[in-house]
Amino acid sequence: MAIIEIKDLSYTYPGEQEPILKHLTASFPAKEWTTIIGRNGSGKSTLARLIDGLLPIGHGQIMVAGTPVDGEHVDLVHQKIGFVFQNPENQFVGTTVEDDVAFGLENHRVPRDEMRYRIQQALNDVSMAEYAQTEPAMLSGGQKQRVAIAGILCLRPEILIFDEATSMLDPQARQNILGLLRKLKIEKGFTIIAISHDPVEAAAGDNVAILNQGQLVAFDRKEQILANTDLLQKYGLAVPFTEKLKQQLRGQGMQVPKEYMTEEQMVKWLSQQ
């Protein structure tokens, strides 16, 4: 079942000639993790912002969990979608961690007594409870992103959108956040839409969509897309590590299976050769 339906969506930034999105039609399945990949400037972030009603729709239609995204319903859409942005610094509104988490709750007029409980719970979910009183200047990028996630978790959204949310983090912090997302998806049944360049991040999800010059050029299970190195290279995207290795082994005359394999699966397969 699709939770987000996009029909014939086009968008041109004010003052630009060329549209950034061109007649895009897509639907995103509920309770699944879909990664949108594409080169810089392919329109990924624009698409994510349009879905959350953060830009006015130029042409076409978007439905989020049965609600049309338009000026009239934008508040409802913001409630259904939690959005985490790329730069950890520029989405930290509060003067301390708990104030930042409270920000969304205050906007949605949640009573104060309930706020305390929800903040505590959200900070526990992202393992940041001990930093409740800390100021943002004392936190690392990864910790700030955790706080950003807590800030949207406490609003109880159905859909989480991550717009290159791990791209400014170091590799360990990135792995940490991806692990947290996997846990949240399983425990709370979120629909996740992640925008990324990173094949490791794409491999963490269920589906992969490729965006190129404002158009959707592929949308499939990750196993199909990540194993299709020709497709990835054609659109200037990174090839997953296991596929690179398979390519090399094939070049040396070894018979390797065509299907996508995770590192673990590949080790297992090699040990059975």
Partner 1 sequence: MVEPAIEIQQLSYTYSPGTAFAAQALTNVNLTIQRGKVTAVVGHTGSGKSTLMQLIDGLLKPTSGSITVQETKVTPDSAKKDFAALRQHVGFVFQFPESQLFADSVLEDVMFGPLNQGQSEENARRSATDALDRLHFPVELRDHSPFELSGGQMRRVAIAGVLAMKPAILILDEPTAGLDPSGRLELMNLIQKLNQEGTTIILITHQMEQVARYADVVVALQHGQLVFDGQPRSLFSNQQLVEQIGLAEPNTVAFANQLDQAGIPLQQTPLTVQELANEIIEARQKGTFNNE
Partner 2 sequence: MNNKVIFGLYVPTNSFIHRLDPRMKFIACFWYVILVFFANNVWTNIWLGLILLLLIHLSRVSLKMYWSGIRPLMWVIIITALVQLFFSTGGHVYWQWHFLSLTSSGIIQSIYLVLRFAYIITISTILTVTTPTLQLADAVESLMKPLKYLRVPVNQIAMMLSIALRFIPTIMGEVTTIMNAQRARGMDFSTGNLYQRTRKLVPVMIPLFVSSFKRAEELAVAMESRGYNPNGERTKYRLLIWRRADSWSIVALVLVTVVLIALKLL
Contact between 96 and partner 1 per CB under 8 A: no
CB-CB neighbours of 81 under 10 Å: 25
CB 93 within 8 A of CB 161: no
Beta-bridge partners for 68 = 63
Cβ–Cβ under 8 Å, residues 166 and 198: yes
Q: By CB under 8 A, is residue 138 in contact with partner 1?
A: no
Residue 109 CA to residue 216 CA, distance in Å, equals 38
Interface residue with partner 1 among 56, 179, 189, 236 (CB under 8 A) is: 236
Contact between 238 and partner 1 by CB under 8 A: the answer reads yes
Min dist CB 102 to partner 2, Å, is 4
Measured distance CA(92)–CA(147) in Å, rounded: 8
Rounded to a whole number of angstroms, the minimum distance from the CB of residue 166 to partner 2 is 16
Q: Cβ neighbours of residue 203 under 8 Å, at least 6 residues apart?
A: 222, 226, 240, 262
CB 10 within 8 A of CB 21: yes
Q: Tokens for 202?
A: 């794409």
* CB-nearer residue toward partner 2: 137 or 186: 137
231 binds partner 1 (CB under 8 A): no
Min dist CB 263 to partner 1, Å, is 6
CB of 193 to partner 2, least distance (A): 13
Residues in contact with partner 2 by the rule CB under 8 A = 49, 52, 54, 75, 78-79, 81, 83, 85, 87, 89-96, 98-99, 102-112, 115, 119, 135-138, 151-152, 155
Binding site for partner 1 (CB under 8 A): 39-41, 140, 167-168, 170-172, 175, 197, 236-238, 241, 244-245, 248-249, 251-252, 254, 263-264, 266-268, 270-271, 273
